[in-house]
């Protein structure tokens, strides 16, 4: 470490005043928000977009759960039901999960954590948001007017022969893919070229490592999805027969190309959440992170191995036995890297001075859901077991444990942990804990019955089911209502806290992360001069809290 010795600055008292100038009031016209190049404002644009996605996806999820409340038809028709799960899947994945944590918290904190004033290409950053908006609008418009009923996976030959109009949906997904690529590309270049002095590769915050691994997947996998959506759209429109066995095509090839993106996409969703947990867990336990390099490297390990696990979606699709075996073995390696992270997080909590706050409640939920979802994932990666579980509610419950359980826990932990930094105000802790409790409870109540349903043989995407599945389905719907109730509470108290919350001050958590050295909310350019970071981002023990030498705006 060659950085100069810093002077110990006084820590502002917790009852600090709200900064007079920040990125929030630097330009108050609508134009200054919509055409901003500031990464923090773009992050807030993404927050609005992804929250709308979460809301819509949640509404459609509730419609599905209400329909499944009774064995027969309940509130909607069978075709509407198919459209509902297609809407739910596509919106949740492409409008919420994939852009949520990188787009919101990555955009906001990555440059600050590196000591940079902005991301490498601010204009492209704004472009990526509008591309996301355009793609999402086209997709939604296509879904609503065309009534696509294929599910989010677009399996051929159904998707290429369905009477519904899926072409605008495919093009919308293609366009959202562009946005995802731009974001990832921007982050990779930022990490390589804009690190401040003192921020060496192994002194980067772990959130940055996670975003780095995520971005690599976004850049390498998304183009293949783009090509696949184009092929399906062309095939649906012109009857090409690329994936149609009657014309010599190969439907299994579609599944290969589709899952080459869509399996790594799971890691696009979950790796940033893991990064959030690595950050928050140190702050709530007030301990140095245990096994920094292990956590950093396992992110890259998951990114790499996760790429070559896609074939476990094809075990019963007619894929060869050789590939099935190879993909099963590789899939299990993902479990090894994930376990490394889990052990390190638990090691960090061990003998920590834990503050039981809302972010910590979400960490507890995250650890449980990730381990539970991960272990059932290892079970599903076993070829012989998968034959039994394929396309049942067991699979549905498994991937919701990872994608809703782990990812939403990470998203909510990040939202609560960084809310004071982003908006300068605190959220009400008691309400936060209550909502966290409701969400964790509601989540378990929703999806544990689905494991049992799937194991008993209830297939996914079915409109009706035999009476013997009724009790568990009622339990699942009740849990979903609880989950929805938790989200409503969060939306209400965060909206109130935006303007009426207690002023947070620079560092209400006493966190050592670099982002807490700047005022809350941060000034437009983050730093007046190039900051010099003299300590690591997760150093709590044996290091007195001192501000890094950063050029404060005020």
Least Å distance between CB 361 and other proteins?
37
No. of helices (H) and no. of strands (E), the chain:
18, 0
What is the token pair recorded at 408?
């939403």
| Contact call for residue 196 and other proteins (CB under 8 A) | yes
Touching other proteins, residues 350-369 (CB under 8 A): none
Query: Within 18-121, where are the H helices?
Result: 30-34, 39-67, 78-90, 98-99, 107-114
The smaller minimum CB distance to other proteins, of residues 118 and 517, is found at 118
Sign of CA pseudo-dihedral 462, 464, 468, 474:
positive
d(CA 166, CA 488): 32
- Backbone conformation region of residue 28, classed left if phi is above 0, alpha if psi is from -120 to 50, else beta: alpha
Binding segment for other proteins among 13-21, 60-68, 128-136, 190-198 (CB under 8 A)?
Answer: 190-198
DSSP string, 190-257: HHHH-PPTT--GGGS-HHHHHHHHHHHHHHHHHHHHHHHHHHHHHHHHH---TT-GGGT--HHHHHHH
Helices 206-238 and 107-114, packing angle to 10 deg: 140
**Cβ 41 to other proteins, closest distance in Å?**
15
C-beta of 305 vs 483, nearer to other proteins: 305
Residue from 186, 446, 476, 534 in contact with other proteins (CB under 8 A)? 186
**Separation between Cα atoms, residue 519 and residue 528, nearest integer Å:** 12
Among the candidate windows 12-20, 246-254, 333-341, 403-411, which touches other proteins by CB under 8 A?
246-254
Site for other proteins in 297-326 (CB under 8 A): 307-308, 310-311, 314, 318-323, 326
Instruction: Choose the binding region for other proteins from 10-18, 87-95, 117-125, 478-486 (rule: CB under 8 A).
Output: 117-125
**Residues within window 156-185 making contact with other proteins, judged by CB under 8 A:** 181, 185
Binding of residue 256 to other proteins (CB under 8 A): yes
- Count CA within 13 A, CB hemisphere, residue 399: 20
Pick 250 or 545: Cβ nearer other proteins = 250
Residues 6+ apart with CB under 8 A from 354: 284, 285, 286, 360
- Interacting stretch for other proteins, rule CB under 8 A, among 237-245, 288-296, 363-371, 483-491? 237-245
Question: Which residues does residue 549 pair with via DSSP β-bridges, in sequence order?
Answer: 532
How far is the C-alpha of 412 from the C-alpha of 409, rounded, in Å? 5
Q: What is the end-to-end Cα distance of the chain in Å, rounded?
A: 28
Buried b (16+ CB within 10 A) or exposed e, 59-71: ebbbbbbbbbebe
Give the shortest CB-221-to-other proteins separation in angstroms. Answer: 8
Q: Does residue 257 bind other proteins (CB under 8 A)?
A: yes
- In which residue are the tokens 């245990």 written? 290
Q: Binding mask 197-236 vs other proteins (x if CB under 8 A, - otherwise)?
A: xxxx------------------xxxxxx-xxx-xx--xx-
Among the listed residues 26, 502, 525, 546, the single contact to other proteins using CB under 8 A: 525
Give yes or no for a contact between 139 and 146, defined as CB atoms under 8 angstroms apart: no
- Out of 53, 58, 168, 249, the only residue in the binding site for other proteins (CB under 8 A) is 249
What does the per-residue mask of binding to other proteins show for 469-508, with x meaning CB under 8 A?
Answer: ----------------------------------------
Contacts with other proteins by CB under 8 A lie at: 111, 115-118, 120-122, 181, 185-186, 188-189, 192-200, 219-224, 226-228, 230-231, 234-235, 238-242, 244-250, 252-253, 256-257, 260, 307-308, 310-311, 314, 318-323, 326-327, 525, 530
């Amino acid at each position: 470490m060659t950085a100069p010795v810093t002077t110990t600055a006084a820590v502002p008292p917790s009852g600090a005043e709200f900064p007079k100038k920040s990125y929030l009031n630097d330009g108050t016209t609508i134009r200054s928000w919509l055409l901003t190049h500031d990464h923090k404002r773009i992050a807030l644009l993404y927050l609005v977009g992804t929250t709308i996605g979460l809301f819509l996806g949640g509404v459609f999820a509730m419609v599905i759960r209400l329909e499944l409340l009774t064995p027969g038809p309940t509130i909607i028709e069978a075709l509407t039901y198919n459209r509902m799960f297609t809407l739910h899947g596509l919106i949740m994945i492409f409008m919420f999960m994939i852009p949520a944590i990188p787009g919101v918290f990555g955009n906001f904190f990555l440059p600050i954590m590196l000591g940079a004033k902005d991301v490498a290409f601010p204009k492209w950053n704004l472009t990526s948001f509008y591309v996301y908006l355009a793609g999402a609008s086209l997709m939604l418009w296509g879904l609503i007017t065309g009534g696509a009923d294929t599910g989010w996976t677009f399996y051929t030959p159904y998707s290429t022969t369905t009477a519904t109009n899926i072409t605008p949906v495919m093009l919308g997904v293609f366009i959202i893919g562009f946005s995802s690529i731009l974001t990832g590309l921007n982050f990779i270049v930022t990490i390589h070229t804009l690190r401040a002095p003192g921020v060496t590769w192994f002194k980067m915050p772990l959130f940055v490592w996670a975003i780095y691994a995520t971005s690599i997947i976004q850049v390498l996998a998304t183009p293949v999805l783009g090509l696949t959506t184009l092929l399906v759209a062309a095939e649906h429109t012109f009857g090409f027969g690329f994936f149609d066995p009657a014309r010599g095509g190969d439907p299994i090839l579609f599944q290969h190309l589709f899952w080459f993106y869509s399996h790594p996409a799971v890691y696009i969703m979950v790796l940033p959440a893991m990064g959030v947990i690595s950050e928050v867990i140190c702050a709530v336990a007030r301990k140095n992170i245990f096994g920094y390099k292990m956590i950093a490297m396992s992110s890259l390990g998951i990114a790499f191995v996760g790429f070559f696990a896609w074939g476990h979606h094809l075990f019963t699709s007619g894929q060869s036995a050789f590939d099935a075996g190879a993909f099963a073995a590789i899939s299990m390696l993902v479990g090894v890297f994930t376990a490394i992270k889990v052990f390190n997080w638990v090691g960090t909590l061990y003998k920590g001075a834990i503050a039981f706050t809302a972010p910590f409640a979400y960490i507890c939920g995250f650890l449980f859901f990730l381990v539970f979802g991960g272990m059932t994932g290892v079970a599903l990666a076993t070829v012989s077991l998968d034959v039994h579980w394929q396309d049942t509610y067991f699979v549905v419950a498994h991937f919701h444990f990872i994608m809703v359980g782990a990812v939403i826990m990470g998203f909510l932990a990040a939202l609560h942990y960084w809310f004071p930094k982003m908006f300068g105000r605190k959220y009400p802790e008691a309400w936060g804990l209550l909502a966290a409790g409701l969400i964790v409870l509601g989540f378990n109540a929703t999806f544990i019955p689905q494991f049992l349903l799937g194991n008993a043989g209830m297939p996914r995407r079915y409109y009706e089911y035999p009476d013997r599945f009724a009790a568990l389905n009622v339990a699942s719907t009740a849990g979903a209502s609880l989950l929805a109730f938790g989200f409503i509470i969060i939306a209400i108290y965060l909206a109130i806290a935006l303007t009426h919350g207690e002023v947070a001050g620079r560092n209400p958590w006493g966190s050592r992360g670099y982002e807490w050295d700047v005022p809350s909310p941060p000034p437009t350019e983050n730093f007046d001069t190039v900051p010099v970071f003299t300590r690591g981002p997760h150093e709590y023990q044996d290091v007195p809290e001192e501000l890094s030498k950063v050029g404060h705006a005020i």
